[in-house]
Amino acid sequence: MAGVRSAVRQVPGPCSHWNDDDADFIRHVLDRVGDKWSVLVVGTLEAGPLRYTELVHAIPGISQRMLTLTLQHLAEDGLATRTSYPEVPPRVEYELTPLGRSLLRTVLDLAAWAVDNHQTIQRHREAREVPA
């Protein structure tokens, strides 16, 4: 097995400098920030502080469950804050932190790529379907 393993060419890539101890957590972070709802919530928060209802309306298809969970994750990871103002009715706003803003360009690029290329991808899938 050692012989087979050593015959595999070492390939550079995004993981080539990962420390073994950190790999699990880096993958976990990547899983969270690349999640489609996280991408869309962070991207929408570019506009500044937003209320929950504003986020629901700005992101078609998001369920209240997924929005709540995504906002919890963003707060846990220090990417967004939740601020409650003691008004009647109470006002709660969500806002990106500097760490969250540092992710903004990349997630907006990813969302823009999906918008720009979804029709090409659809055509690829249709072309692969063998006619009956």
In the bound state with its own copies, the residue whose beta carbon lies nearer, of 53 and 64, is 53
How far is the C-alpha of 128 from the C-alpha of 122, rounded, in Å? 10
Q: Site map for its own copies, 18-57, x if CB under 8 A?
A: x-x-xxxxxx-xxx-xxxx--xx--xx-xx--x--xxx-x
Least Å from the CB of residue 42 to its own copies: 9
User: DSSP H helical segments within the chain, as ranges?
Assistant: 2-6, 20-34, 36-44, 52-58, 64-76, 98-101, 104-128
Q: What is the DSSP letter of 93?
A: E
CB 97 within 8 A of CB 80: yes
Chain contacts with its own copies (rule: CB under 8 A): 5, 8-18, 20, 22-27, 29-31, 33-36, 39-40, 43-44, 46-47, 50, 53-55, 57-61, 76-78, 99, 102-103, 105-115, 117-118, 120-125, 128
